[in-house]
């Protein structure tokens, strides 16, 4: 077993412990475990980069691992480590488990991915998914929130998440389009991933148009965010496992 | 009038929502229909409608077209409203103000417009419009953070520009694939540049790398490019992508009593012959110094292979009515040359989109409307950012107005 894989296992154990401690309301200890987990996961990504000699998001294992990392980092950036959400942590854990299920030995970067755009397009997309996960977490809490004040606070967090996610998704789509032009000869080829990313972009565009309307505040907007995250999962994971032709398969 | 009506129809957010929902549902059904392996009437209906190949169905393409029109109209209408706002801000009545996300009223208070202006200025609002409608009715419109609004403008403008340049690009773009043999030179059409395949080098992991020179007319050597599956620009309107660097076989295919065609084939290449026949070059074998080609002939468009033969260089092969001859084996680079004079504009529009989006999402833009009439003050506003903060600001303005009135 390689060192980077061992680190991923250790990070998983730490996250699971952090989640368990958080459930039992031991927040301080939970925070320490999660922070240690983040440090180990970051180290595993660095080691993977060194072993494979390319950025750590080219195959399915790397993608799940990097996505998991982006989810937790997005939450960290937004709501500070002391209040890290159990939902976000759970998403990150599930993704980390999936990465271990689909583990692959490091290989050299396929020629098709050997491009400057790879270093912008992929991380921007994954970070945007991470922020969308954070918005989903806030939306889910909004649905079950009983106090108006808490609901407003969660709305603000979800707004900040979507704002970052949407900007990064736009960067991802634009750089992807420019990359597609140079590699495949066309800016847009209606590939399933491209189409669902566009649908995703429009769903969150709706969010911005609706979030400042009185009638759409609260539970309604939370449902829209949950729907948006379903499309995120469909875009990232669903298309990869369905028997459809796509230029974006790992 | 008709244009206005059409613009109103297509700029509807509801229509956009319906179109997007239909696209999403179609995609889901289309993907799930791949799993339906039962041969029943439901599957037949799905296949007849075209869900099995949703991307190629005419109605799906129509939906995408509607989405494009819808997005274009939505952006255009917002651009127009922005320009109107710059020229002469729209004065909303109480009914419209009450529909804004932030809205408060102050009842039974007599207040001067100057006092309201003072309060707004204290909150760093610029008074853009002040209208007296008679009957003691005054409306004040103020705003702050114009940079955010400019971002909003740039964002919508860029969407329109991207669509516009994409449309032009589809008409003006010319793309073609060329094969260059070692030492061969090629003049790029429309440009004063030529390409010369100078050398074939050994790359890492037994890959082959091409060294290509770009020569500018009258100036000589301009650039040297080493190409393993890379894209490079000759100038702002012309880009070249290296599709393959490998060994190529110069092949002639002669139909008896008819014409003779020459091709450069690389491994995996195929040539369509008559009667649904496809000639596939499966392998080029250079072992033991003997140059051999491994031919596969498929007989129909389903790709079923029923003929395979190894033939040596210069050894003619007669297949039905065709005489196939491998004439030469040479280093070959396959390039896709794309000439598009609007590439730079598309790139600029993309950058404008990102810049405009960043400004409109991260720089606040607040608008505030105040109606003063018959001892009643109505304050309403909207923002593009942090609703909670703006809500507090509106409440603060309300408090200040009340306090100001009480003080007086």
For A145-178, write each residue's pLDDT tens digit.
888 778 888 888 888 899 999 999 999 999 999 8
> Is some CB atom of chain A closer than 8 A to the CB atom of B362?
yes
Of B67, B169, B205, the CB nearest to A108: B205
Give Rg (Cα) of chain B.
Answer: 34
Q: Is the pLDDT of residue A244 over 50?
A: yes
pLDDT tens-place string over residues B67-125: 888 888 888 887 887 777 666 667 777 777 777 778 888 887 777 888 888 888 888 88
Q: At which residue do the structure tokens 């702002």 appear?
A: B236
Point out the residue among A111, A166, A167 whose CB comes nearest to the CB of B229. Answer: A111
| Mean pLDDT across A33-62 | 90
Sign of CA dihedral A38, A42, A47, A49: positive
pLDDT band at B222 (very low <50, low <70, confident <90, very high): low
The model's pLDDT over B44-58, given as tens digits with 9 standing for 90+, comes to: 776 676 666 676 778
Strands B126-134 and B270-272: unpaired
CA distance B56 to B78: 32
Among A7, A23, A1, A18, smallest CA distance to A93 is for A18
Tokens 């991470």, located at residue:
A130
What is the reported pLDDT for A67? 93
> Above 70 in pLDDT, residue A214?
no
| Beta bridge partners of residue B317, listed in sequence order | B324
What radius of gyration, in Å, describes the C-alpha atoms of chain A? 18
Position B354 scores a pLDDT of 92
**Inter-chain touch B386–A170, beta carbons under 8 Å:** no
Pair A97, A52: CB distance under 8 Å = no
B246 or A17, greater pLDDT: A17
Helices and strands, counts by H and E, chain B: 9, 19
User: A104 is written with which tokens?
Assistant: 């692959």
Q: Do B361 and A183 touch (CB under 8 A)?
A: no
pLDDT of residue B348: 93
Q: Residue B346's closest chain A neighbor by CA?
A: A178
* CA nearest to A111 within chain B: B229
- For A26-35, A151-160, A186-195, which range has the lowest pLDDT when averaged over its residues? A186-195
Nearest chain A Cα distance for residue B117, angstroms: 25
The pLDDT of residue B94: 74
Strand partners, B226: B211
Q: Give chain A positions within 8 Å (CB) of B28.
A: 234
Contacts of A241 in chain B (CB under 8 A): none
Strand order in the sheet with B185-187: B185-187, B193-202, B208-216, B220-227
- The answer to whether A132 and A229 have CB atoms below 8 angstroms apart is yes
User: Are A202 and B34 an interchain contact pair (Cβ–Cβ within 8 Å)?
Assistant: no
Q: How far apart are CA B15 and CA B72, in angstroms?
A: 13
Least confident of A7-16, B332-341, B380-389: B380-389
On chain B, the residues whose CB falls within 8 A of the CB of A111 are: 207, 228-229
Distance from CA of B255 to the nearest CA of A (A): 33
Q: What band does B300 get if pLDDT is binned at 50, 70 and 90?
A: low
Token representation of residue B338: 């794309």
C-alpha span between B278 and B274 (Å, rounded): 8
Window from A4-13, A64-73, B61-70 with minimum mean pLDDT: B61-70
pLDDT of residue A149: 78
What one-character DSSP code corresponds to residue A56?
S
Does the pLDDT at position B301 exceed 60?
Answer: no
Residue A179 has pLDDT above 60, yes or no: yes
Token pair 């995250």 is at which residue? A229
Number of inter-chain CB pairs under 8 A, A vs B:
96
**How many Cα atoms within 13 Å fall on the side-chain side of residue B97?**
22
A96 to chain B, closest Cα gap in Å: 26
DSSP tag of B321: T
Alpha carbon distance A59, B39 (integer Å): 36
- Mean pLDDT score, A206-233: 83
Helices assigned H by DSSP within A80-218 = 86-101, 118-143, 148-184, 192-211
- Measured in residues, chain A has a length of 250
Quick one: how far is CA A110 from the chain centroid? 23
B residues 162-221 closer than 8 Å to A (CB): 166, 169, 175, 205, 207
Alpha carbon distance A28, A30 (integer Å):
5
How near does any CA of chain A get to the CA of B345, in Å?
A: 12
Residues of B with CB below 8 A from A234's CB?
28
pLDDT of residue B408: 43
CA distance A90 to A202: 27
Give the max Cα distance, chain B. Answer: 108
Using CB atoms, pick whichever of B20, B231, B382 lies closest to residue A199. B20
Instruction: Using the predicted structure, report yes or no on whether residue A223 has a pLDDT greater than 80.
Output: yes
Region of poorest pLDDT, from A79-93, B157-171, B362-376: A79-93
* pLDDT tier at B329, thresholds 50, 70, 90: confident
Q: What is the pLDDT of residues B241-292, one digit of tens each?
A: 888 887 788 888 887 767 777 888 877 788 887 767 788 887 777 665 566 6
The reply to whether residue B358 touches residue A167, judged by beta carbons under 8 angstroms, is yes
Please give the mean pLDDT across all residues of chain B. 79
- Residue B307 corresponds to which tokens in the numbers above? 């003929």
pLDDT of B405 > 60? The answer is no
Tell me, what's the pLDDT at B302?
58
A246 pLDDT band, cuts 50/70/90, is low
B231 touches chain A (CB under 8 A): yes
């Amino acid at each position: 077993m390689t060192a980077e894989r061992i680190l991923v296992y250790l990070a998983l154990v730490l996250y699971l412990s952090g989640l368990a401690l958080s459930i039992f309301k031991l927040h301080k200890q939970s925070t320490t475990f999660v922070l240690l987990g983040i440090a180990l996961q970051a180290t595993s990504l660095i080691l993977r980069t060194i072993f494979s000699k390319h950025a750590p998001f080219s195959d399915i294992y790397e993608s799940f691992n990097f996505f998991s990392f982006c989810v937790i980092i997005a939450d960290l950036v937004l709501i500070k480590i002391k209040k890290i959400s159990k939902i976000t942590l759970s998403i990150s854990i599930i993704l980390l488990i999936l990465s271990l299920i689909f583990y692959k030995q490091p290989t050299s970067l396929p020629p098709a991915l050997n491009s400057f755009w790879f270093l912008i397009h992929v991380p921007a997309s994954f970070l945007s998914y991470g922020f969308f996960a954070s918005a989903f977490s806030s939306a889910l809490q909004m649905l079950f929130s009983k106090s108006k004040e808490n609901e407003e606070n969660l709305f603000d967090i979800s707004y900040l998440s979507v704002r970052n996610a949407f900007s990064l998704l736009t960067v991802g789509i634009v750089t992807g389009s420019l990359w597609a032009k140079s590699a495949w000869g066309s800016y847009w080829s209606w590939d399933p991933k491209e189409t669902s990313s566009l649908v995703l972009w429009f769903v969150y565009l709706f969010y911005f148009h609706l979030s400042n309307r009185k009638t759409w505040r609260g539970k309604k907007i939370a449902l829209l965010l949950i729907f948006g995250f379903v499309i995120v999962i469909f875009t990232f994971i669903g298309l990869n496992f369905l028997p459809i032709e796509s230029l974006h398969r790992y | 009038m008709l244009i206005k009506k059409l613009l109103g129809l297509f700029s509807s957010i509801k229509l956009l929502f319906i179109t997007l929902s239909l696209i999403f549902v179609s995609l889901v059904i289309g993907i799930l229909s791949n799993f339906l392996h039962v041969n029943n009437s439901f599957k037949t209906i799905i296949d007849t409608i075209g869900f099995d190949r949703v991307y190629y169905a005419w109605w799906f393409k129509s939906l995408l077209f509607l989405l494009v029109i819808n997005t274009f109209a939505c952006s255009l209408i917002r651009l127009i409203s922005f320009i109107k706002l710059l020229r002469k801000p729209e004065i909303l009545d109480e009914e419209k103000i009450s529909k804004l996300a932030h809205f408060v009223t102050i009842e039974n208070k007599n207040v001067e417009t100057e006092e309201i202006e003072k309060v707004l200025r204290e909150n760093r609002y610029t008074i853009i419009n002040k209208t007296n409608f008679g009957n003691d009715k005054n409306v004040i419109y103020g705003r702050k953070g114009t940079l955010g609004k400019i971002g909003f403008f740039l964002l919508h403008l860029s969407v329109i520009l991207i669509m516009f340049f994409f449309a032009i690009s589809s008409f003006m773009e010319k793309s073609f694939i060329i094969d260059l043999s070692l030492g061969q030179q090629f003049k790029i059409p429309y440009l004063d540049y030529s390409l010369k395949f100078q050398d074939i080098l050994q790359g890492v992991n037994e890959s082959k790398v091409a060294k290509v020179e770009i020569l500018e007319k009258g100036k000589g050597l301009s650039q040297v490019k080493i190409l393993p599956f890379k894209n490079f620009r000759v100038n702002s309107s012309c880009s070249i992508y290296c599709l393959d660097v490998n060994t190529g076989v110069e092949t002639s295919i002669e139909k008896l009593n008819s014409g003779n065609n020459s091709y450069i084939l690389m491994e995996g290449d195929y040539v369509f012959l008559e009667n649904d026949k496809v000639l596939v070059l499966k392998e080029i074998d250079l072992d033991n110094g003997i140059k051999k080609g491994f031919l596969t002939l498929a007989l129909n468009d389903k790709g079923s292979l029923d003929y395979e033969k190894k033939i040596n260089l210069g050894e003619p092969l007669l297949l039905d009515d065709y005489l196939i001859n491998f004439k030469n084996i040479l280093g070959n680079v396959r390039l896709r040359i794309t000439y598009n004079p609007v590439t730079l504009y598309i790139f600029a529009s993309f950058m404008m989109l990102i810049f405009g989006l960043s400004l409109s999402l991260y720089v606040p833009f607040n608008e505030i409307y105040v109606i003063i009439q018959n001892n009643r003050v109505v304050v309403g506003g909207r923002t593009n950012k942090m609703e909670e903060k703006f809500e507090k600001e509106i409440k603060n303005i309300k408090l200040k107005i009340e306090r100001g009135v009480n003080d007086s």
